[in-house]
Amino acid sequence: MKLGHYLNRLRWLGGEIDYTFANPHQREKGGQAGEYFRVHSIAFNLLARYPGERFQPYIGAGPALMIANISAPNPDVSRHTQWDTKLGFNAEAGVRYLVFRNVSLFGEWKFNYAKFHYRETFNGNPCTSLTFCGLNSFQAPYAAQHLMFGIAWNFESLFHR
C-alpha cells in the first residue's frame, strides 16, 4: 500500500510512504522443523519519474522501518517467538500506465534490506547474561526482492481541473 505525492513545480520529483508485508517462511527440511518468518516494511522513499501523459517510468529509494517476527517450534515451550525492529533500506523501479484520468496500472521491482538480530530463549524465558544464551543468538540479513503489480487511484487529476 502506498501514499505519495509529486511536486507541482518539479513534476518529476516526489515522495511516498510505502507499506509492504512479506512472509518468507522456511519449510521443514530433513526432519528439522521449519520457521515462520514475517516482515513488515514501512519505507519513506524519494522518487523520480518521467512525467509523461500516460506512460510514467519511475525509480525511488529511501530508509525503511523493518519489523520482523520469527517463530519456530521449541520442545520446551508451546511457541518460540521473537520480534526485532531495525532501520533498513528500500529501493524500487517501475512503470505506471494511466488507463483513465484517475486509474492507473503499475508494475514494479522492489528491494528491501535489513539485518535482524535474534536471541535464543532458554526454557521459554528470554536470555539474560546469567543463562549464557548469547552463544545461540544469530543475525539474519534480510535481502528480499519483490515483483509487485496493481491498480492505483490517482488523486493528482482530482486537484488539477
The CATH number for 56's domain is: 2.40.160
Quote the number of domains for the chain: 1
3-state class of 152 per DSSP?
A: strand
Q: Which of 8-22, 68-82, 121-135 has the lowest mean pLDDT?
A: 121-135
Q: How far apart (Å, rounded) are the C-alpha atoms in residues 82 and 77? A: 13
Q: Which pLDDT belongs to residue 137?
A: 64
Encode pLDDT of 60-119 as tens digits. Answer: 999 999 999 887 665 555 556 788 999 999 999 999 999 998 899 999 999 999 998 876
Per-residue pLDDT, averaged over 26-33, amounts to 60
In this predicted structure, the answer to whether residue 161 has a pLDDT above a threshold of 60 is no
Range of the domain at 128: 2-159
Other CB atoms within 10 Å distance of the CB of residue 93: 13
pTM for the complete prediction?
0.77
Select the more confidently predicted residue: 126 or 21. 21
Q: What is the pLDDT of residues 131-154, one digit of tens each?
A: 444 445 667 789 999 999 999 988
Q: Is 151 exposed, middle or buried (0-12, 13-18, 19+ CB in 10 A)?
A: exposed
